[in-house]
């Protein structure tokens, strides 16, 4: 990871052409964790080439699994898994490594992980993960940031009511419950498409899961799982980012290899902004508007509401609208860090607590800015594509966690964009 790399954009070119969406990071990560359940082999297709995926593969290898990778196909054999501890550096490298916990306690009777601390989105507690796993029979001792977990008599099914539909907690419960003794019922479960994808993978291996994607999910524990091949779903946030970029430049772009149903709450926002879209089975044609209209109220919510991950790229689009748009961020406390950077480029945005008021400006101007987090970083690229003059975006490691060579995708659509070294 080279912290001195930058993306340099000469803004103002319309995007034109066709671009494909890669596999979903937030689906690949829990599936990779699931590959260590029960031993056997998983062949994962459409697995995105991202630094977060590299970190997950490294964790699997440290635990003793054999992993090979060819392009977007990753093959994991977990027969040889021996280790019960993820080193602290790896836990810190990727906060979502907590999703390994549910799979590890299914396989081993003792597991030790260090607590992933806060992150750039504010404090991200794991209380729901812990209390749920306790209900399934895991003993958790937490001291000085270390989680010592033990399973004395094997995992058992339980009724779990989540006070908030946490994506990660729902994934951890699924991973721990598929081989537990008896039935698990998850109420107020997260309904994100990535949950359905994880359940699809586990089902392909022989798990019995009912109603994944609904608010109450049932899991009937099975004794063993078998090997399977599975294809990761398209990344709906990458799709939303490409659509925002096409729209802000007034371009005409086919975004392919996506699932429009996963974008149900995002597409109406583009429509209100004046975009014209043709929605096909697995692709969307986006025609950016001559004049971007404001969107009165965008509230981020658990699925099927508007995704918090799409908030920043869509905000970049609306900085150039002809009026005032309002965002309310209800999922994460600290998810407006990109606002200061967008304002450096000439945007007019005021935030107070959960609310951001975006007054459209006539132009954005190229500036030197820093990616503050993954989606915030992508928003700066979207803004840079439409800004007058040169934008330089630093701290690219944030963006590389979730976008496969974002600059190449936009360059292929006609943007003047490149990555520069130190
Ligand atoms: C997943 O994070 C995604 N990450 C996030 O994407 C995404 O923003 C988020 O879901 C919401 O959709 C992965 O899938 C790897 P949550 P996760 O548990 O599972 C609170 C990206 O950019 N909470 O649904 O961590 C929490 O603090 C990333 O790709 C608790 O209070 O999300 C937050 O406010 C960023 N206690 C809210 O719930 C808990 O035990 C939502 O978190 C767990 C969560």
Neighbours of 118 (CB within 10 A): 11
Residue carrying the six token digits 């009724």: 159
* Residue owning the nearest CA to atom 19 of ligand 1: 168
Q: What is the predicted pLDDT for the residue at 3? A: 65
Q: Which residues pair with 161 in a beta bridge?
A: 187
Nearest residue to 239 (alpha-carbon basis) of 402, 46, 412, 29 = 402
Atom 27 of ligand 1, nearest CA residue: 124
Quote the pLDDT of residue 125: 86
pLDDT at position 77: 98
CA of 231 to the centre of ligand 1 (A): 23
Burial of 82 per CB tally in 10 Å (0-12, 13-18, 19+): exposed
pLDDT digits (tens, 9 = 90+) for 318-329: 999 999 999 999
> What's the pLDDT at 92?
83
Closest C-alpha residue for ligand 1 atom 8: 309
Q: How many Å lie between the centroid of ligand 1 and the Cα of residue 235?
A: 16
When pLDDT is averaged across residues 161-170 and rounded to a whole number, the result is 98
Atom of ligand 1 nearest to the CA of 121: 35
How far apart CA 71 and CA 198 sit, in angstroms, is 21
Is 313 near ligand 1, meaning CB less than 6 Å away?
no
Q: Is the CB of 391 under 6 A from ligand 1?
A: no
Q: Is 96's C-beta closer than 6 angstroms to any atom of ligand 1?
A: yes
Q: Rounded to 5 degrees, what are φ and ψ at 302?
A: -60, 155
Q: Is the pLDDT of residue 78 over 70?
A: yes
Distance 187 CA to ligand 1 centre (A): 17
CA dist., res. 116 & res. 379, Å (int): 26
Question: Can you read off the two tokens belonging to residue 407?
Answer: 């600059």
The pLDDT score that the predictor gives to residue 291 is: 97
pLDDT at 94 over 90: no
Is the CB of residue 35 below 6 angstroms from any atom belonging to ligand 1?
no
Pocket test for ligand 1, best of 166, 194, 378 (most atoms within 8 A of CB): 166
Predicted pLDDT of residue 120: 64
Contacts of 144 (CB under 8 A, 6+ apart): none
Whose C-alpha lies nearest to ligand 1, atom 16?
166
Q: How far is the CA of 168 from the centre of ligand 1 (A)?
A: 6
What confidence category does residue 140 fall into, taking pLDDT thresholds of 50, 70 and 90? very high
Task: Write the DSSP assignment of 228-251 as a string of letters.
Answer: EEEEPPB-HHHHHHHHHHHHHTT-
How many angstroms from the chain centroid is the CA of residue 358? 24
Q: Among the atoms of ligand 1, which is closest to the Cα of residue 302?
A: 12
Instruction: Specify the ligand 1 atom closest to the Cα of 27.
Output: 14
**C-alpha span between 189 and 211 (Å, rounded):** 10
244 burial via Cβ count (<10 Å: 0-12, 13-18, 19+): buried
**Annotated active-site positions, please?**
119
11 close to 391: Cβ distance less than 8 angstroms: yes
Residues in the chain: 422
Q: What is the mean pLDDT of residues 246-271?
A: 98
126: CA distance to ligand 1 center in Å? 10
Extract the runs of DSSP E, i.e. beta strands, from 157-251.
Answer: 159-161, 183-187, 208-210, 217-220, 228-231
Q: Is 169 in the pocket of ligand 1 (CB under 6 A)?
A: yes
Closest atom of ligand 1 relative to the 123 alpha carbon? 27
* Whether residue 125 has its Cβ less than 6 Å from ligand 1: yes
**Which of 22-36, 142-156, 165-179 comes out lowest in average pLDDT?**
142-156
Q: Whose CA is nearest to atom 23 of ligand 1?
A: 125
Residue nearest atom 14 in ligand 1 by C-alpha distance: 26
Give residue-wise pLDDT tens across range 4-21. 899 999 999 999 999 999
Can you tell me the distance from the alpha carbon of 186 to that of 183, in angstroms, rounded to the nearest whole number? 10
**Residue closest by Cα to atom 21 of ligand 1:** 309
145 alpha carbon – ligand 1 mean position (Å): 19
126 lines ligand 1 (CB under 6 A): yes
Tell me how far apart the alpha carbons of residues 256 and 279 are, in angstroms, rounded to a whole number: 10
Buried b (16+ CB within 10 A) or exposed e, 298-307: bbbbbbeebb
Q: Tens of pLDDT along 186-212?
A: 999 999 999 999 999 999 999 999 999
| C-alpha span between 241 and 91 (Å, rounded) | 28
Supply 352's token pair: 């107070």
pTM above 0.85, yes or no: yes
Q: What is the DSSP string of 350-392?
A: EEETTEEEEE--S--B--EEE--SHHHHHHHHHHHHHSBSEEE
């Amino acid at each position: 990871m080279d912290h001195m790399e930058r993306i340099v954009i000469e803004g103002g070119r319309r995007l034109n052409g066709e671009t494909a969406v890669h596999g979903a990071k937030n689906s690949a990560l829990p599936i990779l964790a699931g590959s260590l359940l029960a031993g056997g082999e998983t062949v994962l297709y459409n697995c995105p080439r991202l630094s977060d995926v590299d970190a997950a593969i490294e964790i699997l290898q440290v635990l003793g699994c054999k992993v090979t990778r060819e392009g977007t196909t990753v093959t994991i054999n977990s027969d040889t898994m021996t280790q019960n501890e993820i080193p602290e550096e790896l836990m810190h490298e990727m906060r979502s490594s907590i999703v390994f916990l549910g799979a590890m306690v299914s396989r081993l009777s003792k597991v030790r992980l260090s607590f992933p601390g806060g992150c750039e989105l504010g404090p991200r507690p794991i209380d729901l993960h812990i209390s749920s796993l306790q209900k399934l029979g895991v003993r958790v001792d937490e001291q000085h940031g270390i989680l010592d977990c033990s399973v004395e008599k094997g995992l058992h099914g339980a009724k779990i009511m989540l006070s908030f539909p946490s994506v990660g907690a729902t994934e951890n419960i699924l991973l721990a419950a598929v081989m537990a003794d008896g039935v698990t019922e998850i109420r107020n479960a997260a309904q994100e498409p990535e949950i359905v994808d994880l359940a699809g993978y586990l089902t392909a291996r022989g798990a019995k899961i009912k109603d994944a994607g609904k608010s109450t999910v049932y899991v009937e524990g099975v004794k063993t799982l078998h090997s399977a091949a599975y294809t990761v779903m398209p990344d709906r946030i990458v799709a939303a980012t490409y659509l925002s970029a096409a729209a802000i430049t007034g371009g005409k772009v086919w975004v392919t290899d996506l699932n429009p149903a996963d974008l149900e709450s995002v597409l109406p926002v583009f429509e209100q902004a004046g975009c014209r879209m043709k929605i096909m089975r697995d692709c969307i044609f986006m025609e950016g508007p001559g004049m971007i209209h404001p969107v009165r109220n965008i509230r981020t919510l658990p699925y099927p509401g508007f995704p918090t991950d799409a908030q920043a790229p869509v905000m970049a689009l609306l900085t150039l609208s002809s009026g005032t748009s309002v965002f309310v961020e209800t999922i994460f406390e600290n998810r407006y860090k990109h606002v200061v950077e967008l304002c450096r480029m000439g945007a007019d945005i005021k935030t107070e607590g959960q609310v951001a008021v975006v007054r459209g400006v006539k132009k954005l101007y190229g500036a030197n800015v820093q990616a503050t987090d993954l989606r915030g970083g992508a928003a700066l690229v979207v803004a840079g594509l439409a800004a007058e003059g040169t934008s330089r975006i630093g701290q690219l490691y944030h963006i590389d966690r979730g976008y496969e060579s974002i600059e190449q995708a936009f360059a292929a659509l006609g943007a003047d964009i490149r990555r520069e070294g130190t």
